[in-house]
Amino acid sequence: MKLSRKLMIMAGGTLFIGLTAAAACEGKSGSESLFTVSQSPVTNTDFTRAAESTINGVVSIKSYATVRQQRGYSGGEEFFNDPFFDFFFGNPYGGNRQPQRRQQQPKAKEEEQQPIGLGSGVIISPDGYIVTNNHVIDGAERLEVTLNDNRQFNATVVGADPNTDLALIKIDAKELPVIPMGDSDALKVGEWVLAVGNPFGLTSTVTSGIVSAKARSISAATNGRPMGLESYIQTDAAVNPGNSGGALVNLNGELVGINSAIYSQTGSYAGYSFAIPTAIVTKVATDLKQYGTVQRAFLGITYFALDAKTAKEKGLKDIVDGLYVEEVNDRSAAMEAGIKPGDVITAINNKPTHNSAQLTEQIARLRPGDKVAITFVRDGKTQTVTTTLYNSQGSTKITQASSVTDLGCAFKKIDAETAKSLKINSGLQVTGLKDGKFKAAGIKDGFIILDINNARVSSAEDVEKIYNAIIKSTEDHVMFITGIYPTGKKMYYAVDLND
């Protein structure tokens, strides 16, 4: 039967279509101008229960440091001059980076602690463990946590992981409200979610949106700049500075992500926000609690995502989707599994790998020693192999949290007479050498350090700062040291900081 459409109305989950009387079914009265085409239940969009059950599980975190070590913070000029801020929050002062004139502030005392950051955190256990973003607590000398009931506590850092931008902190409290952990894998694109946090210091703020995408990589938006973890939940829930480290929850009030970033050209929310999925949060938080550092597994390949164009360039006829293996690293899990250059990986543990973010997420939730199933295509045939993942050193050994004390020595500044006799301006002498990284590299007691990784050093604080920067780096963890012995002999050492 041919129908003449005039009007379409969606109301109460029922679709009505207006028809002319002439188009009515045979034998029916012409007055019957509306009829039900489909009936579906109305989606529950009552956010009150989820909001009420989660706001008490989200805390406000203020970080403090002495003025001499002050780094920019959300709302300060220094933070706006950070290119990391430009990507996530834009430059609110425009491309010339000239901040608006502010009222003169009284000069602070040299050693006075000042606030350097404001963010959010999520309580994950009744005894005071809180997960947040690494960039919320990075560089802080003191952390102040405020609960939703206005109680305040000082927090200690249990561990932090710059690669995933996650940190675990602890406050001395009991019987705290906890947001139950949800399954980020079960999230669906289009599903309603709530962002709970403290934007601009406005506590207990709840915003809503939908899941816009999963396993989202944002390196394309940063012109290929590595951003650590590359597998975000993208939503259109309003997130602003101060929301970092807060909760992304589903309508059951379950934690499905940690809000971490927005993409904006104005400095405020512009439609895109990104959260770290709980599949990764759970693993990282557990590692930080147990070991103080993340047990990171590696597959050991160099690859790129296929598309129709690159598949044609590589002479592939039967596949245009997956991760094309360019190189297989020595002593790696991939080599042991028999993966070869030219293979196309299509799944990890039966989870599709259409892009790099999907592979990153699957490997990030595993530890060295875990078994992994790799599905790949070679010569048009699909194969699956199982292998054991290794750490960066090619073993399954547990990695311990490192500190500058692992170098195995103390340092003292050289006096003016020694500097004059050696014709140097300054230096830092190694003393009290014992078993550690320096001794293993061949450094001997009395060695005077001039620079580390091309940076001049004149104090133990300089060494610690460089050490921490190397450990946090995604590059090789090596100290390249230039120095001189009291005899005048100049030496160069490479100190491997890996376990």
- Contacts of residues 309-315 at CB distance under 8 Å and 24 or more positions apart, as own/partner, are 314/342
* Annotated catalytic residue within 86, 161, 165, 287: 165
Q: And the tokens for 461?
A: 């604080």
CA distance 79 to 97: 11
The burial class, CB within 10 Å (0-12 / 13-18 / 19+), for 433 is middle
Is 354 assigned a catalytic role? Answer: no
Amino acid at 454: N
Is 477 assigned a catalytic role? Answer: no
Pairing of strands 192-197, 247-249: antiparallel
* Annotated catalytic residue within 63, 244, 273, 332: 244
* Annotated catalytic residue within 86, 120, 135, 264: 135
Per-residue buried b or exposed e for 24-62, using 16+ beta carbons within 10 Å of the residue's own CB: beeeeeeeebeeeeeeeeeeeeebeebbebbbbbbbbbb
Q: Tell me which DSSP letter residue 115 carries.
A: E
In contact, 493 and 441? CB cutoff 8 Å: yes
Is 244 assigned a catalytic role? Answer: yes
The DSSP-derived string for 120-155 is EEEE-STTSEEEE-HHHHTT-SEEEEE-TTS-EEEE
Radius of gyration of the chain from Cα atoms?
28
In contact, 218 and 260? CB cutoff 8 Å: no
Query: What is the CB-side half-sphere exposure of residue 484 using CA atoms within 13 A?
Result: 16
Where do the DSSP E strands lie in 162-300? 166-170, 192-197, 205-216, 232-235, 247-249, 255-262, 273-277
Residues noted as catalytic: 135, 165, 244
